[in-house]
Structures are given as structure tokens and as C-alpha cells.
Structure 1
Amino acid sequence: MDLWYVDKYIDSHNHELARPNETAFLRSHRKMTEWQKNEIIGLQKAGLRKHQIMDVMVQESNGDHAEVGYVPRDLYNFSYLNKCAKIIDGDANAVLQNMRQRQLEDCEFFFDYQTNSEGRLVNLFWCDGQSRLDYQAFGDLLIFDSTYRTNKYSMPFVPFVGLNHHRSTTVFACAVVSHETTESFKWLLRTLLVAMYQKEPKSVITDGDHAMRRAIQQVLPNSIHRLCTWHVERNMTRFIHHCMIPDFRELIYKATMPSQFVRRWKDFVEAHKIGEGKKSYKWLSRMYKIRKLWAASYVKNKYFLGAQSNQRSESLNSQLHTHLNRKMTLADMEEHFFRCVKRIRRNEYELDCVASQSLPVLITEHKPLEMDAAKCFTPANFQLVQKEIERSSNYEIVEILENENCIKYIVSAREYTSVRFVECDDEETLANIKCNCLKFEREGIPCCHVMLVLIKHDALIPRSCVLTRWTQNAKSSILSDEKKNESSQQERFAELVNLSKPVFYEASGSTEDFLRWKKTLTDEQKKRRQNDDFHGNKGEVNQGLLNGASPLINVKILCEW
């Protein structure tokens, strides 16, 4: 063993000493504390980028970089190592372990997955307890598409969404699939029914995927299905010449009798000389075969609540794209998805508050009817009902026919020939009143023709004309459950920080209080350091478990994709 001896010691530096404002950048002076690491993880979960997190930390340190204790490079390195720690046993394993942890915190949390013969994750589905409750209230309309691939594996991301009582987006579930096959979509839909207590939607809006259409026909045969008009229009610009677009758009949106649609289609084909040699021939032939799924002539009187496209799903996907890209892991995507869901629910709570604490402005001369509508419907739906009350002035009752079974009101437009028939069982109670325009059957909103009859009798809105899902009490029979069994370390840390802020802010206004609290905290910090020294340094906390997750469970899924 070689021994080395100090022969000469020179007590002077061979370089210029760093100035006080430079010491914060020396490696020996840089250290990231555990509470700072925890705060960084919390800010990342809130969607802040790394440079924004650094700005927050500097601001919390009175704008002094030296007080932060580390530099941006340290933050980037920690974020990378923390991500690696979370998916050390594979991205798929990390996601499934997150699901298990959520299930411990929310007993109604549901998830299921499929693997292939090699043990690789191929399909994943999940929804929390609140989503399952929301589906019971608003699951009559289901909207989803699989056109987004917001992860590094290019796996389609499939959100299941709908409309809540404010006509805003509500999220029912989410899924990731490896292949867009009929079998994959059948598994997704069957899993959805299991999660939602076998409640089938009345109507479904999707993109034009052929495998998805076949899966809906087999799993949801009783649901009304239509294609998203936005996807139809996007494909229209790809497959047909721009000169055909105005005429084809008329075929999409103009509602006529089905027989008239067939005639109009033939006129369209002849006018643009569409033959087998044309580039657009194959696409138009396919569209004609499935015309009952997209043409207004076939879907005009069906129950879609006024929705024509899966823009709700598009809206959720656009939020998911914020701060993230196609390189993100499944764990990143799952975490960000729940952050977006929280934002959507916060918006719903705000609208609930507005609906319960205010009344909209009345603008028509039929105040009692209008006020009754304001008390029944949420503000967004009241505005639609209010427009129908206004429109009723454009019509008049030209004749009333009575028989033993019902009373029929013949309603005609004042300025043009248009006749509608409004029927009810009893003229006094206006029970089961309905109109042959079928607006209520399509959108759940009473039409202007019904409003005219109500005005004639000075009546309020019959409850047969009030769809519960559009009212302020849409969720009254469904208990919201957002309780958690046990909070994580990060949640406890956040709660303590929030409790301390008002106390410390008030103490900062007085030198005496400031010094008292500073001494208390300094003494507590010294005590903890002494305890750590006495018991020995136990090492760094596993940052992969800072979110409160339990150690990884052995899951038979490979992590290499």
C-alpha cells in the first residue's frame, strides 16, 4: 500500500476568490433541500414549465438567486432523475401503480387493462368516482374519438366526454389503445359499461373510424350513432375538389326527407360529373353508404342535445396538449389528464355557484313564464328557452281541434307558410304537451310552438317539458364523493404551507413578531438537525415516492416499448 506525505502546504488560493454574488453558482454551495424538491414536484403537477418553476423559487426568495440554493441546471437534473425514478420499473408499471394508489384514495376509482402474449400493455381504461357519478346524470350522450396520439408510443388517446347541465364538457373516462381495431374498441366499450353499471348511452358521437363504428354496432346496438361533422368536413377538404365543397356542405346540414336527399345526391353527382375515374369517387361512395350517420336528413330528429361534433373531446385534447408533446410518457399523460379534469370540474363548480346565487335578466313581456324557466333551468339552458319564448311572437294559433283523447293546436308562422301541431292531453293542466317539430325530443328544450300555447293559457312550464339533465337539480339525486382515505406527504406539506402563509404574513408586519417566529423556526430546525445527527443520516428520500405512492408492486408487464 502506497503512502503519501504532505511535504509542503501553501495557505493561499491559486485562483481569484468568487465574489459574494457569485457563490450561489459554486457546486460546493449548491444544495436542493427535500422541501424544495417536494415543492418542485407540486409545481410540475400544476403544469408549470421548469423555467417558470425557477422564477417562482427566485420570487419566493425575495428575488435573490443566491437565496434559492441551486441553479436551473440542478432543477432540470432533478426533474429528469425524478421522472426516471418514477418509471424505473417501466412506464406501464408506473402508470398501473399510480392507478392502484388512486384506488386506495378513491374507493370508486376504476381501471382495467389488457396485455398481449408478451406481457406488453396494449389497452388501458380508467375513470374516477366523480366521473362515474357524472355519467349517471349525463351519460345519455357520449362523445369520443381516437384521432390524438399524445404520447411517445403514438398510442391513440381516447377520452369519453359528454355535456353537463351547463352545456359544458364533463369527463366520463379515458383510455389508451395500442391499435385501432374493432376488438380494441369493443373491449373499451364493454369496459365502459362495466364501469358505469351497465348504463348504455342514448346517443353516441364519434369520428369516422370504421373499426369504431363496427364496435358500436355490436356493443351498443340500441344507441343512436352519428359521425362528427367536424371530421366529415375535414375529410371533405382532403378528398373532393374545392368547387364541390359548398354543394356537399349543403348535403351535410340541410335537413330534408330521406327520399329528397337521395335525389339531391344524384343531382350532386351529375352536376360535378363524378365517375369511377375521379379521385373523389371512392370517398364519396363510402360516404353515401354511411349517409345515415352524418346527413341532417337522417339525424335531424334524433336525440343529440344539439351537439353535432365531438368538439368537447377536441377541447379536452387541446388542454392536454398544453405543456406536453408527443414525447411524453404514459405516466406524464395520466398525471396531466387528471390535472385537466380538475380544471374542468372547477369550472362546473363556478357555474353551479352562479346558477344558485343569481337570476338572469328577464327580457320578454311574459314575465311569469320566463321567471319559471329561470328557476328551472341553468343559465346556459335558460338562454335557449328564453329565445324560444321570444320566437313565439312570430307564430299564432289558427285553430284548435278537440277530441276524446287529446287537444290539438294548429300553429302557423305569421310571415310564411309553416304549420306545426301541438298536442296535449288536458287543456287545463297541459299534461304531456308536445309538438311535431320534435325540438324537445332532439335537444330537451321546449320549442316556441309549445311556448305559444303556454302563453295563451297563462301557464307555467309543465314538468313534462323540463328535462332534468338541464336543470340546477340535475345531480341532486347523485351524491358527489371526492373524499380521500389518507392524504399523501405532498398534500400534507401543501396544507401546512397554506396554513402558515396568513400567520407569517401578519407576523412580517411587526419586527417583534418576525423575530419571535424566526427564533421559533430556527430552534425547531436546529432540533431536527440534532435528531438527524443522533439517529444517523438515513439518506435521500426516494423522490419517486414523494407523491405518497407505495413501493412498486411486481406487475407482469414489460416496460420496453
Structure 2
Amino acid sequence: MVGKSFNTLEEADSFYYDYAHTIGFSVRKDVMRRSTKTDVISERQWCCSGKGKRRMMENIITLPPKHTHSKDVMRRSTKTDVISERQWCCSGKGKRRMMENIVTLPPNRWCLARLRVVYCPVMMRYRVTRFEAEHNHKLIPNTYSHLLRSRRNCMPSHVAHVMALRKVSVPTCHTYEYMMDQAGGYVNVGFRAKDLYNKLDATRREIMFEGDTEAALAYLNGKCDGDPRFFCRFSVDEDNRLCNLFWRDSTALIDYGCFGDVLLFDSTYNTNCYEKPLVLFVGCSNHLSSVVFGCALLMDETIELYTWVLETFLSSMDGKQPKAVLTDGDQAMRSALERVLPGCPHRLCSWHIGKNVTANIKCPKLSKVFRRLMWDQLTPHQFETRWASMIEEHSPTNAGWFATMYKKLERWAETYCRGYFFAKMRSTQCCEGTNWYVKDYLKRGIKLVELVPIIYRAHCRLRNRLKELDYDSINSTHVLTTQLRELEKHAANTYTDNVFYLVWK
């Protein structure tokens, strides 16, 4: 080997790495010297990764802890079984054993195997000046050569492939299995799954070099450049840290102008590492499907913060107010709605009411009577009569809960909700469905800079579904089955498919 020459350093590097993988050891770069006149690398050396020696640990002396008390002596009478003597002492009492010298034996270190090349200006090539082939440790068999550190290399293309698949909810472990299948086995992949996770983590840290919040706001600012009607507003605390964030795009503004008569207002958890509630403003489209009007991240669920986000939402929608609002049973939400939208019809989610019924009413017969009161279309007089009869007949033990529900019956009983337009919605399931779309992309502990683009992609997914429904309604023809053919044909041409089936029934 001494005297052999290479055209470039890359050629020498590739040669020694291939040689090491064939023989069965791992390589790392060692010495490099550069010419001060020509700035050309004049000397380069590669060595076995076994080169070096671990430091030997010195004597370790553990000092006694701070002055605290602990229980010491206790004697108990053998006749009466009563404690006859008790002693407490300082926890510093006694003497701890000093650990002996801990010597870590170097696992076959100081391996001298190496390759050194020096640049020859006359030949304009790199010439081998030293080559050590002997190792003082066992070499790796060919069966394990693909696990050598110097052979494992996770390329940027692999990371880009994983990131692209993660956007459509494909886990990293499944992507690695796919790469293994395409390569023809684990031996041919070129890296381990742990290497891929480490590379992804490093890439993730590079993305957030400016800070999580700054990067997320920079992403939203980028949206503003391409969308003149994009709206974003945030607030900070005394330490200039992000507290609350609201945003919506121009498509949401158009959707709210078309479908903003009924507003669903709900929050969800465990979407980010800061445990900020994700608030969604959702409506019902002309296909009876979910449509998102805006999103917000709040510091906490208080009346003041809900008031802030509602006022910000209405301000972003040019002041247009909904005709009805549907929420869950959160008291802070209800108080904020009374502040911002006084007199607006407000209905509580029937699904949450049903869960409360199951939790508070243990009698199946009483639960059935209560549910009928919630759903039956009665007059106010009939409702009051049945309610009084239910209380008198069953004498519920949980009278406090029944009294609380009676105070807000105008928000959950079908009797008192009739006459208001709620777009055929009785629960916040549209919000729950939207949350499902969002959470399909999320994992617990996600950063803010990752959360905002994921929410945007989830909204794009919902909007694409709306376009598909539009296409199907425009390009489909219903089979007329009733005797009122002209009326049925007019309804088929006027309504969307979902609404037509609703009217047809």
C-alpha cells in the first residue's frame, strides 16, 4: 500500500472505508493538515475506531448529606408489646464506606491500524505514506458488517422520504420497514432504525433553531404573504412569551360568509407539548359536513380567554355574528358567549348531556324517561307536567343534579330549542369529527411549529372532501321514485345529495 496514489481525497476515503467494511472494522477520520499557502489539504489520516483509551476513574468519596434526622434505636417490651425505648439521631451519624478505585479496563484500545496520505505537488495526487494493517482486537464477521458505525449512513433523501410520509400519518417505524423491503433486507438498508430516529431528531432541532414560537409565527407570516385576507392575532404575557394565538385564512372567511349561521365552539387537549387547549370554530356546510372557520391555542380555559378568542374571531369575520351557537357544558364558554353574543340562541351538546345522564342516573327506567323528555317534541306545558311527574314518581336521589339541569333546560330540551335554526345539529360531533381529522396527524408532545402546519393540512383534507361532495352533487342524477315527479326533480336539482335524501325521506 505504501506508495499507492489517489487522484482525490474522496477516492482515498472511499477506498479505505470499503476495505474496512470488507475486513470487518469501523473507520473514523483522524489527522488532517492544510497548507497555509495554497489552502489545500496536505495530509489526511484515517484510523480504526478502536484507537484511543478510556480515562480511569479516580477515588470516589461520598460526602455525608445535610443535617437531617432519622429514626435510630427502638426497643419493644416482650410482655406488653409496647415500645419501651425510642431514639432519633442525626442522619449524619455513622460513616459511609469509601468506594474503592474503579478502573475501567480499555476494551482492546490503542489499535494502530491506519491509512495516511500526503499530497504530492509534483504528481498532483495523494500518495500513501503509512499503512498499518494489524489490529489488536477481533474483527467483525461479515454477518455483522452492515452494523458497523462507519458503514451506517442515513442520507438526507431518507429523511425527506420519512418526513413526506409522516405528513400523511405514516409512522417512522413503518417507513423504515418499507425502506427495508425496497432494499431487499436489513443488510442493504444502510442504517438502523435508531439512526433514522436520531437523524430526524437532529433535523427537527435544526428547524427550530430560532425557537418554537418564532418559527410558528414565521410560518403564519409566510401564509400572510401568499394570502392577502389571512388573519392572525396573538397575545403575550409579562415575560414576552406567547399566551394565545388565533388564525384563519381567506377560505375560512368565505366559508363563514356562506355557512356561518350556526357556530360550533369546542376545545380539545393533548395536541401539543405545552398542553394548550386547541379551540376550533366549526360550522355545517350545504352537504351537512364539517367546515372549519378558524383555530386558536389558548393558555387556559377561563372566561377572559374565551371572551378574547370570541371577540377576535368575530373581528376577523368582519363583525358578522352567528344566529345560533352550540357548545358543550363548559361554564366558562357559556359565560363568554353571554358577554360577546348576548341573546344569541345557545344549545348544549346532546352527546355530553347523554354522558351526564349515564353518570348521574343509575336507574334505567328513570334514565329512559329523562331521555324522552330531552328528545320528544312537547309543548312547554306538557314538558312541565312530565317533569313534575318524573320527580314525584321516581324521587331521584341525585336531586341536586336534576335541579341544575332544570335551570338550563332551555339549552338542552327539544321543547325549548324548537323555533331556532341549528342546521340539523344537536351535538358538537362536527367538532369532534374535525378533531379526529386533526388528531389523526398528531402525537402527544408535538411542538408548536409542527402543530400549525399539521392543522392546516387537516383543514385541506376537509376542504378537499367538500369539493368531492360538490362534484358528486353537480355531476350525478337521482333516480325519481315518487309520484310527484316534477316536485322531486326540482328538489334533486336544487339541493345537494345529502340534503335531498333528507328531504326525500
CA distance in 2, matches of 1:327, 1:62: 32
1:48 correspondence with 2:170: yes
The reply to whether residue 142 of structure 1 matches residue 263 of structure 2 is: yes
The alpha-carbon distance between structure 1 residues 326 and 10, as it changes in their structure 2 partners (threshold 3 A), is closer
1:262-301 to structure 2, matched below 5 A, reads 262-274=384-396, 278=397, 280-301=398-419
Aligned to 1:441: none
Partner in structure 1 of residue 436 of structure 2: 318
Distance, in Å, in 1 between the alignment partners of 2:282 and 2:422 is: 14
Which runs of structure 2 are paired with 1:177-326 in the superposition (5 Å)?
177-243=298-364, 244-274=366-396, 278=397, 280-322=398-440, 324-326=442-444
Is contact 2:270-2:445 (8 Å) kept? no
Tell me how far 1:120 sits from its aligned partner: 2.8
Quote the Cα distance in structure 2 between the aligned partners of 1:36 and 1:107.
Answer: 36
Match of 1:107 among 190, 205, 228: 228
Cα distance, 1:328 vs structure 2: 2.5
What's the offset of the Cα at 1:314? 0.7
Contact 2:268 2:435 in 1 (8 A): no
**Residue 386 of structure 1 corresponds to which residue in structure 2?**
504
Structure 2 Cα separation of the partners of residues 209 and 126 of structure 1:
23
Give the 5 Å matches for 1:44-83: 44-59=166-181, 61-83=182-204
Task: Indicate the percent of aligned positions where both proteins have the same amino acid.
Answer: 35
The residue matched to 2:346 in structure 1 has which SS?
strand
Q: Match for 1:345 among 455, 463, 474?
A: 463
Q: Are 2:239 and 1:93 equivalent residues in the alignment?
A: no
Correspondences of 1:22-37 after superposition (within 5 Å)? 22-37=144-159
Confirm or deny: 8 A CA contact 2:154 2:199 kept in the other structure.
Answer: no
> Matches of 2:191 and 2:225 in 1, distance apart?
36
| Residue aligning to 1:361 | 479
1: distance between equivalents of 2:357 and 2:269?
Answer: 19
Q: CA deviation at 1:102?
A: 2.2
- The TM-score with structure 1 as length reference comes to 0.63
Count of residue correspondences: 377
Equivalent position amino acid for 1:50 in 2: T
Q: For 1:356 and 1:65, how far apart are their aligned partners in 2? A: 50
Paired AA for residue 56 in structure 1: Y
Map Cα deviations across residues 225-263 of structure 1 (whole Å, 9 max, x no partner).
111101111122222333331111112111211232222
Measured in 2, the distance between the counterparts of 1:216 and 1:347 equals 31
Contact 2:280 2:296 in 1 (8 A): yes
Displacement of 1:201 after TM fit? 1.0
Alignment CA distance shift 1:364-1:272 (3 Å): same
Q: Partners of 2:131 and 2:476 in 1: how far apart? A: 81
Distance 1:149 1:11, change over 3 A: closer
1:304 CA displacement = 0.7
Task: Give, as a single letter, the amino acid of the residue that structure 2 aligns with 1:296.
Answer: E
- SS of residue matched to 1:97: helix
Contact 1:45–1:335 (CA under 8 A) maintained in structure 2: no
Q: Could you tell me how far apart the structure 1 residues matched to 2:321 and 2:359 are?
A: 34
Give the letter aligned to residue 82 of structure 1. Answer: T
Shift, 1:306, TM fit: 1.0
Distance 1:205 1:55 in 2: 45
Q: Deviations over 1:429-460 (max 9, x none)?
A: xxxxxxxxxxxxxxxxxxxxxxxxxxxxxxxx
Amino acid in the other structure paired with 1:15:
K
Deviation at 1:25, TM superposition (A): 2.9
Instruction: Measure how far apart 1:162 and its partner are.
Output: 1.1
2:447 equivalent to 1:329: yes
CA distance in structure 1 between the partners assigned to 2:311 and 2:139 by the alignment: 71
Task: From the superposition, tell whether residues 285 and 120 of structure 1 become closer, same or farther in structure 2 (CA, over 3 Å).
Answer: farther
Q: Which residue of 1 aligns with 2:488?
A: 370
**Distance change in 2, residues 1:180/1:63 (3 Å):** same
Q: 1:239 to 1:120 in 2, by over 3 A?
A: farther
- Which is greater in Rg? 2
Query: What is the deviation of 1:66?
Result: 5.0
Contact 1:125 1:188 in 2 (8 A): yes
Checking the alignment, whether the CA contact within 8 Å between 2:167 and 2:441 is kept in structure 1 is no
- Return the offset for 1:371: 1.3
Structure-1 residue corresponding to 2:57: none
1:207–1:227 CA contact under 8 A, matched in 2:
yes
Q: CA deviation at 1:140?
A: 1.0
Using the TM superposition, give the Cα deviation of residue 178 of structure 1 relative to its aligned residue in structure 2, in angstroms: 1.7
Q: 1:174 aligns with which of 284, 295, 298?
A: 295
Larger helix percent = 1
- Structure 1 residues not aligned, in runs of 5+: 388-561
Contact conserved, 1:154 with 1:326, CA < 8 A, in 2?
no
Following superposition, the deviation at residue 187 of structure 1 comes to 0.8
Please say if residues 57 and 68 of structure 1, whose CA atoms lie closer than 8 Å, have aligned partners that are also in contact. Answer: yes
User: Distance in 1 between the 2:215 and 2:399 partners?
Assistant: 48
| TM-score, structure 2 as length reference | 0.69
Partner residue, 2:248: 127
2:52 match: none
